Amino acid sequence: SSESVEGQTYVIGTDTTFAPFEFRQDGELTGIDMDLLRAIAEDQGFEVEIRSLGFNAALAALSSNQVDGVIAGMSITDERKEIYDFSEPYFESGVQMAVAANNEDITSYEDLKGKTVVAKTGAEGESYAKSIAKEYGFKVKSLDQSATMYESVKAGSAVAVFDDYPVLAYGIAQGNGLKTVTDRVPGGSYGFAVNRGENTALLAAFNDGLAELKASGEYDQILDSYLADPT
């Protein structure tokens, strides 16, 4: 007999500001990840207590069992699969570079020579930036939050930021003062994560609920409510 999630409360870690996946609106945590998780919990009959920890802190909290799972625009990667079990992918993503909207000097990775870029601690953007840093001769400074990374690019303490392209695109469309100048680097899709071999009932319920939301059209409704072009 399999363990049931019904009536259980699970503590779930997430990032702080990673719009449109998680962010605060009028003090409330909202976004695609939050809506998907809450709808899945409702569909599957469990409760969630969401902790807005920051990306790297959420992964650390998961590893030390302070949270049961993480949903944070977290990319499914082979390296992470060694320590976490992931749900079915629910969103395709990858990394891209952005610069200040008024920056005309940086139009390619070659222009980063001798400069400093920012990326998020423990994130795919950081791994990617570090993987090409030597080749192009730039430095990578790691910060914990997307909001802080964007501010440091606008303030000129870094010339560019490497972050997930759906998040950069959303922020740019909202007028955050950045622009993208290089191609997207397609990467891992997002998944919900638990520690490897643990919380198997929760993971199964997440997958079942996700399938239900896709079949009912609610998955599309949630995505559209954040991403559909205004007409």
The torsion angles phi and psi of 30, rounded to 5 degrees, stand at -140, 180
Nearest approach in angstroms of CB 18 to ligand GLN is 4
Nearest approach in angstroms of CB 161 to ligand GLN is 11
Nearest approach in angstroms of CB 120 to ligand GLN is 5
Nearest approach in angstroms of CB 229 to ligand GLN is 23
Quick check: 169 and 145 in contact, CB under 8 A?
Answer: no
- Which residue, 30 or 93, is less far from ligand GLN as judged by CB? 93
Nearest approach in angstroms of CB 7 to ligand GLN is 30
- The size of the chain, in residues, is 231
- Which residue, 148 or 182, is less far from ligand GLN as judged by CB? 148
- Which residue, 33 or 68, is less far from ligand GLN as judged by CB? 33
DSSP state of 228: S
Radius of gyration in angstroms for the set of CA atoms belonging to the chain, rounded to a whole number: 18
Quick check: 162 and 128 in contact, CB under 8 A?
Answer: yes
- Which residue, 35 or 124, is less far from ligand GLN as judged by CB? 124
Which contiguous run of DSSP H or E holds residue 161? strand 160-164
Nearest approach in angstroms of CB 158 to ligand GLN is 16
CB-based contacts of 79, cutoff 8 Å, min separation 6: none
Exposure string of 119-156, with b = 16+ CB inside 10 Å and e = fewer, is: bbebbbbbbbbeebbeebebebebbbbbbebbbbbbee
- Which residue, 201 or 227, is less far from ligand GLN as judged by CB? 227
- Which residue, 8 or 189, is less far from ligand GLN as judged by CB? 189
Give the closest residue to 124 by CA, choosing from 103, 93, 88, 84: 93
Nearest approach in angstroms of CB 218 to ligand GLN is 23
**Side-chain half-sphere CA neighbours of 122 within 13 A:** 14
The torsion angles phi and psi of 116, rounded to 5 degrees, stand at -115, 135
- Which residue, 71 or 203, is less far from ligand GLN as judged by CB? 71
Site residues for ligand GLN per CB under 6 A: 15, 18, 55, 72-75, 93, 120, 123-124, 164
